[in-house]
Structure 1
């Protein structure tokens, strides 16, 4: 029997993984690309294509720095919460940087206005020169 085309191979793998997900086999997380590749005897690019198909279908979710988790599964929840908190912290940090930059501009403006005011006042600082 001829081997399936690369397109057919990734579909076969994604279907097998989908069945395992439905059976609860990956409650602790989806195996790594390398592990799946060894199991099915295929290259990681084929595994990535199969996992991408599962992601697009909403069966799995990529979790930055961790790998993939079953979408909506218990193993995904802590990572989703951490990911959301990381995004929130990044936004907070960006706001702090912006506020610090605004503070720098305000300090420079205040210094400039102070210098103008000092030059505009007479020697004893009580009246405008004129």
Structure 2
């Protein structure tokens, strides 16, 4: 399967399309248990995607039990995985009510993740969070939405728990869980929306500051406030006449 076939699978994200393409090769036997996956560079060249997309796709395949990464060696096929494994499909995020339901799940999971991150984060984790904050701010100031940077920040917080299950769940959910990725048009943003996104990143900064200070209670509260604000905004939209 090449880049033309992958592109034809839109509007699903490129990462989800790549998961489908590689997963299909595993299921139909073109890639068997024990086989080594192509390198990141080879996958990027074949499918015409970025390194970030490849890494997100590999994370999803890992979470589904289809591949495993052996550090310093490569990524190897485990098997076709469990078709019943937890996932949220794009069609399950088609409405405002769907998005509110996922935000309720995220409040529970990510609030605790923020608290654990405050207790366990490393300097490298913190630097990665700061980089995501900077990428978000840069996108907004350039008049662009910041879905990728938003998801990156939440993923870095999950990684900072030092608990692979938090990071694996975020990888399984993917960037589609950022409400703007499903409900709002992409492209150039207007001044009102730009101001809103600045407020969102201020909430992000509060979370990261609490994690940096190793204040677990404050980190949990900041994350809960951030996600609850997003949930309430969507709830009001659902209830609007």
Q: Structure 1 length normalisation: TM-score?
A: 0.49
Between Structure 1 and Structure 2, whose CA radius of gyration is higher? 1
Q: Structure 2 length normalisation: TM-score?
A: 0.27
Please identify which structure carries the higher helix content: 2
